Chain A
């Protein structure tokens, strides 16, 4: 069964038959977490780094922002039996326009904010594919923990 994660949304599952998918990550980031023992996993597709940009939206939809979405993703996975020390973390997205000026670097800011949050919480990233000018689609298989990245024009590969 495919669980689709929209933009600014997340899904967690412990159904071994489930695959969590999100489409067309541009500057947005997809962060997948998976506990191989509990067979619990989750995927967050956030759009922006900081909830201070729009606190009203953040209270309605914390998954829109890194600083409110990422903690929520981990909490939801713990609720299903996942444990922090076993969690494998993979990160995809954060693409950029062709731009040297720094006016359009939301992708980079999305990624840097995530690094900071994970660092502060002693969480390591096991695999990542970020930056560049491409859209990416990702899927996480809950049963196996396998994680796939598809890039327009370049096919799909496991991360």
Chain B
């Protein structure tokens, strides 16, 4: 199993978010995690990343604890939206290459290899020509694709993606979904938080929905019936 949650409880203060959540993701699965705003989707990702600790229950990621840095180095994480706010310009290439930092040696780096991996990750999101561009001069969708490329660049065995298609053109979304499917077919496990699983309908294996602190599996039709997505 790539991810295993058992009886996980978590609350922000007195407000419970997860209440006995169970989850098992097999290697190579592509799963979309859906639910209402505030239902705990992003919280669940942060628990898997070791950024939050459960009040109760156990979490195993890639066979180890998410508190273990060697485990976290093998996770590709794309947060929702851009967190970088600064007056210093940052190039697209610098942001994507930062995704390689945890897994590459401090000295004796393979610079040519890193450039190729960065180019390849940007190609996967359709941005290979923008490597030298300043991130803050790009559109919101291009910035989101840059964040996605940073998660992909190290070719990790587990991808945790928080609303990866936010702001991205509708025409580009099938290409990104296919790219993630290809990663899953190659052995990576993909867990993507999304308001709308339609973006991934053609390629996903399962839809999981967080409701009242627990995870339920739904078919695409059940999801639409439950959430009344037009």
Is B one of A's binding partners? no
